[in-house]
Structure 1
Amino acid sequence: MMAQPDQSTSDSNDAVRKQLIALLTGSNAHQSFDDAVQDLPAEIRGVKPDKLPYSIWQLVDHIRIAQWDILEFSRDSTHESPPWPSGYWTKELAPEDETAWQRALEQIRQDRDAFVALLNDPSRDLYAPFEHGDGQNLLREAMLIADHNAYHVGEIIIIRRLLDAWKK
């Protein structure tokens, strides 16, 4: 018979889950993804400022792909990641059209929400290594998404500032 966790362990796990969800969905020490792309003029989505490697579109699409990959890795042991780095970065500077832009934003939000659902699932141990991979666990993957997205959100905001399109 498996030992039941004591109440303090359960409370501690709940607190960690809540903090991870706040990290993924909020904007404590940084702007949120939604803030970074809010009211972004369509005409600058594909602009790559001088001496910078990416446009805002390329960063948004990279966030989409990387977050999707982390989500799928976390919930599907048979998931195969795209090749690095070519599978994570679009070569196109701008989205094909408004529909492509909106689709990317929606997938980022849906995948974030799906990852939050994993964190909210009490049957998922935050600390137990996945049966696949090389020691990753749900806690690590949540922090990886948050860290990765915050880094690139900062880049989006820098580009917006350089293009005089950031008023916050």
Structure 2
Amino acid sequence: MWSTSNRRLLDATEQMAGIVEDPNVDLYANVPTAEKEHHHTLRAALILLDHNGYHAAQLIALRQALGIWPAR
């Protein structure tokens, strides 16, 4: 479970990094699937990083509480 959850967080982060690092991507272009105006690519990247960081911290706290931290 830990490996799968960790991999999914890392994969999403790596995919977003690829988008942000692509010189052909306009970071200030609106995200087509956004529900609100002015929800641009850079904002989506920052939200993703914040969201995934929060959940990574939850997984770490859970492992610490279970006595199975640090990761092996």
Note whether the superposition's TM-score is higher than 0.5: yes
The separation in 2 between residues aligned to 1:107 and 1:159, in whole angstroms, is 17
Residue 113 of structure 1 and its aligned partner are, at CA, apart by 2.1
Amino acid at match of 2:57: G
Name the structure, 1 or 2, with higher relative contact order (CA <8 Å, separation 6+). Answer: 1
2:59 alignment partner in structure 1: 156
- With over 3 angstroms needed to count, the CA separation of the structure-2 counterparts of 1:128 and 1:109, relative to structure 1, is same
* TM-score w.r.t. length of structure 1: 0.34
2:44 is the alignment partner of 1:141 = yes
Where in structure 2 are there 5+ consecutive unaligned residues? none
* TM-score w.r.t. length of structure 2: 0.69
| 1:72-87 to 2 correspondences below 5 Å | none
Amino acid at match of 1:129: N
Identity of aligned residues (%): 28
RMSD: 2.6
Amino acid at match of 1:119: V
2:30 is the alignment partner of 1:129 = yes
The separation in 1 between residues aligned to 2:7 and 2:64, in whole angstroms, is 24
- With over 3 angstroms needed to count, the CA separation of the structure-2 counterparts of 1:161 and 1:132, relative to structure 1, is closer
The separation in 1 between residues aligned to 2:49 and 2:55, in whole angstroms, is 10
Where in structure 1 are there 5+ consecutive unaligned residues? 1-44, 46-56, 58-100
Equivalent pair of 2:26/2:41 in contact (CA under 8 Å): yes
1:120 alignment partner in structure 2: 21
Structure with higher helix content: 2
